[in-house]
Amino acid sequence: MSTASSSLTGLMPKFRDRAVCAEVDPEMFFPDKGQSPRAAKKICLGCESRTQCLEWALSRGEEFGVWGGTTPTERRDLRRGRHSDGSHAPGDQHDDPDDTRPASPLAAA
């Protein structure tokens, strides 16, 4: 193992040892522009490390790739307190005071 790869290994979070993505080609989680992230997200669905992976990506502002089953756009929305359908989480401040969308589709349930 080279010095560079041993240094990189030290930067990887511990949950990665149990993650399903460690068993597949990492390029799958960094699709090129225009390619679907669907295959990577499907792998994340069955992973026991999914929540820790997402928390790790959110805490570091990860701007690229699929982490914890989310795309960069989905993580950006989560950081802004929005759901993937564009609605806001209950109790969150709206960015736009003219935004009249419901707080959450689950709030009415």
pLDDT attached to residue 68: 95
**Annotated binding-site residue? 41:** no
**Annotated binding-site residue? 53:** yes
* Cα 65 to Cα 86: distance, rounded to the nearest angstrom: 21
pLDDT attached to residue 17: 79
pTM beyond 0.85: no
pLDDT attached to residue 81: 86
Q: What is the pLDDT of residues 3-62, one digit of tens each?
A: 333 334 445 677 777 888 888 999 999 999 899 999 999 999 989 999 999 999 999 999
**Annotated binding-site residue? 47:** yes
Apex 80 CA angle, 48 and 78, nearest 5: 15
Inter-residue contact 69 to 50 (CB < 8 Å): yes
* Cα 7 to Cα 54: distance, rounded to the nearest angstrom: 23
> Both tokens of residue 79?
């950081």
Residues for the chain: how many in total? Answer: 109
Place of tokens 């989905």: 74
Least confident of 21-25, 41-45, 89-93, 94-98: 94-98
